[in-house]
């Protein structure tokens, strides 16, 4: 029997749109709270899941300062290099002609 204030790992993954491994990573990092383990099933506190669902889960690596500035320069039309176009794709930039 599941607790009303708890969710199974698979349910949490479905709710947050992440894999079971990512759910365990979030548990290890303290972003999710385990509420018990009846038998072999790990239960996770529903309020920690909902809090994370509102805040969102960040996917991928954080950009370095160099990458972030390069992306900003590319989008603003100040800098265009072939390797940046490959990394970020074609970015349409509107130029005003006054």
Q: What tens digit of pLDDT does each residue of 9-62 get?
A: 999 999 998 999 999 999 998 999 998 887 888 999 999 999 988 877 666 677
Asked if the model's pLDDT at residue 84 lies above 60, the reply is: no
Same-domain status, 49 and 67: no
Same-domain status, 21 and 51: yes
Asked if the model's pLDDT at residue 98 lies above 60, the reply is: no
Burial letters 34-49, b for 16+ CB under 10 A, else e: ebeeeeeebbbbbebb
What is the reported pTM?
Answer: 0.55
Same-domain status, 46 and 18: yes
Same-domain status, 32 and 49: yes
Asked if the model's pLDDT at residue 1 lies above 50, the reply is: no
pLDDT tens-place string over residues 19-29: 999 999 999 98
Same-domain status, 45 and 81: no
Same-domain status, 28 and 45: yes
Q: Is residue 96 part of a domain?
A: no
Specify the number of domains making up the chain.
Answer: 2
**What residues make up the domain containing 73?**
61-90
């Amino acid at each position: 029997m599941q607790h009303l204030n708890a969710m199974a790992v698979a349910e949490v993954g479905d709710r947050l749109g992440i894999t079971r491994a990512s759910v365990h990573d979030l548990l290890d990092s303290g972003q999710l709270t385990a509420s018990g383990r009846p038998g072999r099933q790990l239960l996770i506190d529903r309020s920690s899941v909902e809090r994370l669902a509102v805040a969102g889960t960040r996917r991928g690596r954080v950009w370095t300062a160099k990458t972030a500035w390069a992306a900003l320069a590319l989008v603003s039309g100040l800098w265009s290099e072939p390797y940046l176009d490959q990394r970020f794709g074609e970015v349409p930039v509107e130029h005003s002609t006054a």
